[in-house]
Amino acid sequence: MLTRIREVRKAKGLTLHDVAVRCAPPTTAQTIGRLETGTRTVSVGWLNRIAAALEVEAADLVTLPDRADLPVAAILGADGPAAPRKPMTLLAPTPGGAMVGIIVDVAQGDYRAGDALWADKLAPEDFGRALNRDVLAPRPVGRFAFGRLVATDDGRVQILPATPGARQVVIDAPWIAMVRQLVRSL
């Protein structure tokens, strides 16, 4: 079976050790390396463990005949564009379990009109994961607050809006959505 474990790991900016520690139960970087290179057979169990550690679907770690992969033509580095040393592909964004989408209609902060934001929906006990990240939080009567999460305390969040000069918003939120991925058409 051809796997894409190394490609996915590198696309997420993780080391072999990072993935090994994230596995449940943890394993060694050497084992992950052997699974990546094919010197050790990848079972369905290993595929599921590594997928969970990388926060992707197990199907993202194997080459499937019915899925079109996007080949990497160049890598933009400090010395300019260069061809990859070996064939690489990009992962297409796929929605996870509790995700929501946000469409930017008018430019705000770092976001341009037409941007699509993919966000992970978090429960109050996980709000700390989103500190200093952009979030969407529900407000009463179908309204929302959007901006940088600057503080959280027992379900109460403090959000600094992306609009210059806007005042900080403090609200009780049953959930927040932390921006994970930006999709921008040029």
Query: From CA 175, how far away is CA 145, in angstroms rounded?
Result: 12
Pair 143, 121: CB distance under 8 Å: no
Q: How confident is the model at residue 49 (pLDDT cuts 50, 70, 90)?
A: very high
Q: How many domains, in total, are found in the chain?
A: 2
pLDDT at 3 over 90: no
**Among candidate residues 58, 90, 122, the one where a domain is terminated:** 90
Same domain, 117 and 171: yes
Cα 95 to Cα 6: distance, rounded to the nearest angstrom: 21
- Which tens digit of pLDDT belongs to each residue from 70-127? 778 888 888 888 888 877 777 666 666 788 899 999 888 889 998 999 999 999 999 9
> End of a domain among 29, 56, 90?
90
**Which residue shows structure tokens 């607050």?**
145
The predicted-structure confidence for 135-167, as pLDDT tens digits, reads as follows: 999 988 888 999 999 999 888 999 999 888 889
The C-alpha atoms of residue 60 and residue 101 are separated, in whole angstroms, by 21
Cα–Cα distance, 105 to 157 (Å, whole number): 24
Distance of alpha carbon 14 from alpha carbon 29, whole angstroms: 11
Shared domain check, 156 and 83: no
Q: Which of 132, 139, 108, 103 is nearest to 119 (CA)?
A: 103
Distance CA 71, CA 150 (A): 38
Tokens of 116: 């699509």
DSSP line for 20-51: HHHSSS---HHHHHHHHHTSS---HHHHHHHH
Residues in the chain: 186
Task: Verify that 37 and 104 share a domain, yes or no.
Answer: no
Domain that holds residue 112: 99-183
Do residue 113 and residue 83 come from a single domain?
Answer: no
Q: pTM here?
A: 0.61
Say whether both 27 and 80 belong to one domain: yes
Q: Mean pLDDT across the stretch 17-37?
A: 92
CATH of the domain at 81: 1.10.260.40
Q: Could you say which of 36, 62, 90 is where a domain stops? A: 90
Return the pLDDT at 66.
Answer: 64
Higher pLDDT, 121 or 186: 121
Residues 86 and 9 in one domain: yes
State how far Cα 33 lies from the chain centre.
22
Type of residue numbered 51:
A
Instruction: Decide if pLDDT at 69 tops 80.
Output: no
Mean pLDDT, to the nearest integer, of 154-182? 90
